[in-house]
C-alpha cells in the first residue's frame, strides 16, 4: 500500500530536549516536505527536499532541521524545542513538483 | 506572492443539502489549485485538482470545483451532503517556481441529520 508513515503520532516533551520525528514514503517520490498545522493558519511549509541531499527552507524554518540521506526518509529534527513549536506536524511526498501531495497521519507535538 | 482565502471557518448544512465551500486565491502567475479533506485524526487526502485543463473539475466522493479566473475563485461544491462528509477542507495553490503548497486556513464542515 502506497503511504507516508510518520512516527511518533503523539509526543510530549520538555523545552530544550532534542527530538526527531521520522517520515518514510514507499512511493519512490522525489519531493518531500514538512508542514505544521496551527488553528486558523492552515498548513505552513517548514522545509522541503527535491531529492537526496537537496533540501531548502520553506515558510517557517526557524528552530527546525532536516536531512535527506535516503530517498524514502526525511526526518524532522528539533534541536532545542520550545513551547511555540507545539503543533500538529505533517510530512508529505509527491512524485514531482506541483503534483498531488500524499500526507502522513500527522504527529501531534506538545512542548512543555 | 500567492495566497488563499477560505471564507467561513465553519459551515453547517443539513444532510441532503447543497455543500458550498468558498476559496479565493491570489496569484500573479497561472496557478494549480487543490482541495484537500482532513478527517479527524488523519492526514490530508486529495479531493480534486485544477491544472489548467478543464475549468470544471470532478473529484472523489461526488465533489466538484470550478476554476473562475475572472473571480479568482475555486469553490468546492457537492449537490447533496452526506454525514460522512463532515471534515475539515483545505484549499491550496501551487505556482511554478515555488516549492510549497500555500494553504488556506481551512473550513470545517458540519452535516446535521
Predicted confidence at residue B75, as pLDDT, reads: 97
Please write the tens of the pLDDT for every residue from A2-37: 899 999 999 999 999 999 999 999 999 999 999 999
Q: What angle do CA A106, A4, A78 make, to 5 degrees?
A: 50
Q: Is the pLDDT of residue B97 over 70?
A: no
Q: Is the pLDDT of residue B26 over 80?
A: yes
| Residues of chain A neighbouring B8 (CB-CB closer than 8 A) | none
Predicted confidence at residue A71, as pLDDT, reads: 95
Are A90 and B44 within 8 A, CB to CB? yes
pLDDT interval class at B51 (50, 70, 90): confident
Q: Is the pLDDT of residue B99 over 90?
A: no
CB atoms inside a 10 Å sphere around CB A19: 17
Are A105 and B32 within 8 A, CB to CB? no
Q: What angle do CA A31, A36, A39 make, to 5 degrees?
A: 145
Amino acid at each position: 500500500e502506497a503511504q507516508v508513515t510518520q512516527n511518533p503520532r503523539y509526543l510530549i516533551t520538555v523545552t530544550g530536549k532534542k527530538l526527531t520525528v521520522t517520515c518514510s514514503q514507499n512511493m519512490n517520490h522525489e519531493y518531500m516536505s514538512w508542514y505544521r498545522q496551527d488553528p486558523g493558519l492552515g498548513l505552513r511549509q517548514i522545509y522541503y527536499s527535491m531529492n537526496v541531499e537537496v533540501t531548502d527552507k520553506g515558510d517557517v524554518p526557524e528552530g527546525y532541521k532536516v536531512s535527506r540521506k535516503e530517498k524514502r526518509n526525511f526526518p524532522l529534527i528539533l534541536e532545542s524545542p520550545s513551547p511555540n513549536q507545539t503543533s500538529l506536524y505533517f510530512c508529505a511526498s509527491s512524485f514531482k513538483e506541483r503534483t498531488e501531495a500524499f500526507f502522513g497521519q500527522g504527529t501531534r507535538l506538545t512542548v512543555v | 506572492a500567492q495566497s488563499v482565502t477560505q471564507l467561513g471557518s465553519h459551515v453547517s448544512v443539513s444532510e441532503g443539502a447543497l455543500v458550498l465551500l468558498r476559496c479565493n486565491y491570489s496569484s500573479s502567475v497561472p496557478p494549480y489549485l487543490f482541495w484537500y479533506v482532513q478527517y479527524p485524526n488523519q492526514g490530508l487526502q486529495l479531493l480534486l485538482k485544477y491544472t489548467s485543463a478543464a475549468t470544471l473539475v470532478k473529484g472523489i466522493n461526488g465533489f466538484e470545483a470550478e476554476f473562475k479566473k475572472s473571480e479568482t475563485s475555486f469553490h468546492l461544491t457537492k449537490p447533496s451532503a452526506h454525514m460522512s462528509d463532515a471534515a475539515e477542507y483545505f484549499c491550496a495553490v501551487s505556482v511554478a517556481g515555488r516549492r510549497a503548497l500555500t494553504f488556506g486556513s481551512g473550513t470545517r464542515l458540519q452535516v446535521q441529520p
